[in-house]
Amino acid sequence: MEIEIRNIYKSFGKVHANIGISLTIHAGEILGVLGENGAGKTTLMKILAGLQPCDSGEILIDGKPVHFHSANTALDLGIGMLSQDPLDFPMLTIFDNLYLGRRKRFFIQRNRFSKQVEKMEDLLGFQFKLNDLVETLSIGERQQLEILRLLVYGSELIILDEPTTGISAQQKKQLFELLKRLAGFGKTIIFVTHKLGEINELCQRTIILRQGKLISDVVLPCESSLLIQSMFGKAIDLQSPGDASQFEKHFEIQHLVIKDARFFSNPVDLNIRKGEILGLAGMEGSGQKTFLRTLAGLEKPINGMFLDEGYSLHWNSPHSFTKRGIYFMPASRMEEGLIQGMTLQEHFILSQTKDDFFVDRDESHKITEMRIREFTIRGFSSSTAEELSGGNQQRLLIAMLHENARLLLLENPTRGLDIESTNWMWKKLHERCKKGASILFASADIDELLRFSNRILVFFGGRISEPYPSQMLNSEKLGALIGGEGW
């Protein structure tokens, strides 16, 4: 199908998300949509998928103007969207998740539909246990499930909003092969991202959005530097990797055994040094999250000690962990990190550890404005957390990490951030390290792990490796370790 967008405008209060965007997309095409955080990519896609009405403008499918009264209309017309955070039902089974929305018969056609799903699964190389709860899947798996669902629905146009942010390198490779195959069948793919490499690898054409406007429409492949220039309006260089050295001992982990939903880990012994950055590598759901949460005092380990300069931290009082400057930043932004309905200012008030009874509005307003400027968050101190775009929510989370932190535990800290923001964020984190803070971060991005960590722990199926100095690894070696080879 051929889709034409004419003169789309959309604003949220004072923020203009889309300004006069026009575009034509052809059948069987993989179109990239590139732009930095908050450029209006997600808004445009939501309009196209019928999830949000536009203020003005027109959408034509095969030359006929269409109006989306609800997401249903868009789905009926064959437009399906995969959102940034998977919009599924964690508490329902995988089967129910797939079935929901296909409404023909009164009774659920269990056997027939299962067969249909299995056929599609074979085609795509997925394997889901249909009776498991979606809750038990990793974010990467949940994304696969969403793609599977849209295909079972018979979507002709599939919009993927930053699909590679939470998944492993191998899953990404599979995804790209899959998308190319789908394009071969005549399906149209719109691929929203801020990662240049992916655009060049996957797409034939890309549009670039900047501050709500369509800046350029480029046929690929194309020089990355040119793309960067139109994305940010300026050139950006990649910064050199941090170097490992012998720092002072800071935290010590002894015989720590963690308990995940699926396994107990082997005992881990680890010294964390002052100013050190430790990367946690592994496929999504291999235990990195539990490891970080355990060190943050949020989950109790089966066994083991966690010493802070000789002082033993005890899991019965999670509060004592924050008191000693240990902070955790979760990957699921809206679920654990931020509070829906609260403004940025209120978030900053909460994150301060002042003991005053009354809230000093003026002071906190000042702090909020300062942080918004310092962390270039696109929003106002009176905006609520859910009004921010995904990337800006991530920035807000980082802005909220306490100044006096001694150990930062970050789960996928750059998930959903573009190159500029990633670099800038690591600059901020390096500043923290210079002040003596240590960082443990989990990431699905091999390049990021190699570039920023001094040492890397690899997680695989409940096993946790000895720390590898990152100079000893390269991307192939690390990739193999993540895949469970070479242990």
- Residues contributing to the site for other proteins (CB under 8 A): 51-52, 70-76, 81, 83, 87-92, 96, 99-108, 132-133, 135-136, 259, 261, 264, 300, 302
Pick from 86, 195, 165: which is nearest to 415 by CA?
A: 165
**Of 334 and 359, which has the nearer Cβ to other proteins?**
334
> Least separation, in Å, of the C-beta of 238 and other proteins?
36
What b/e sequence results for 354-365 when a residue is b if at least 16 CB atoms lie within 10 Å of its CB, and e otherwise?
eeeeeeeeeebe
Rounded least distance, CB 471 to other proteins, Å: 38
Q: How far is the CB of 65 from other proteins (least distance, A)?
A: 20
Please state the closest distance from residue 472 (CB atom) to other proteins, in A: 34
* Shortest distance in whole angstroms from residue 386 CB to other proteins: 8
Residue 395 burial (CB count, 10 A): 27
Instruction: Return the number of the residue (109 or 320) whose C-beta is nearest other proteins.
Output: 109
Q: Give the whole-angstrom CA distance, residue 186 versus residue 189.
A: 9
What is the CB neighbour count within 10 angstroms for residue 476? 9
| Nearest partner of 84 among 28, 32, 45, judged by Cα | 45
Nearer to other proteins (CB atom), residue 34 or residue 160: 160
CA distances from 113 to 120, 287, 351 (A): 11, 33, 48
109 or 211: CB nearest other proteins: 109
- In terms of CB distance, is 52 or 224 closer to other proteins? 52
Task: Give one DSSP letter per residue of 404-434, joined into a string.
Answer: T-SEEEEESTTTT--HHHHHHHHHHHHHHHH
Q: Rounded to the nearest whole angstrom, what is the least distance from the CB of residue 405 to other proteins in the complex?
A: 28
- Minimum distance, C-beta of residue 167 to other proteins, in the bound complex (Å): 20
Q: Are strands 79-82 and 64-66 parallel, antiparallel or unpaired?
A: unpaired
Closest CA to 65 of 127, 124, 7: 7
> Which residue, 226 or 298, is less far from other proteins as judged by CB?
298
95 vs 328, beta carbon nearer other proteins: 95
Closest to other proteins by CB, 71 vs 277, is 71
C-alpha–C-alpha distance, residues 463 and 457, integer Å: 10
Min. distance of Cβ 435 from other proteins in angstroms? Answer: 37
Secondary structure (DSSP) of 299-315: S--SEEEEEETTEEP-T
Question: Rounded CA gap, 480 and 223, in Å?
Answer: 30
* CA gap 380, 399 in Å, rounded: 14
CB 107 to other proteins: min, Å: 6
Q: Would you call 92 helix, strand, or coil by DSSP?
A: coil
* Residue in the structure block whose two tokens are 């930062």: 408
Distance CA 382, CA 366 (A): 12
Complex with other proteins: residue 129 or 354, whichever CB lies closer: 129
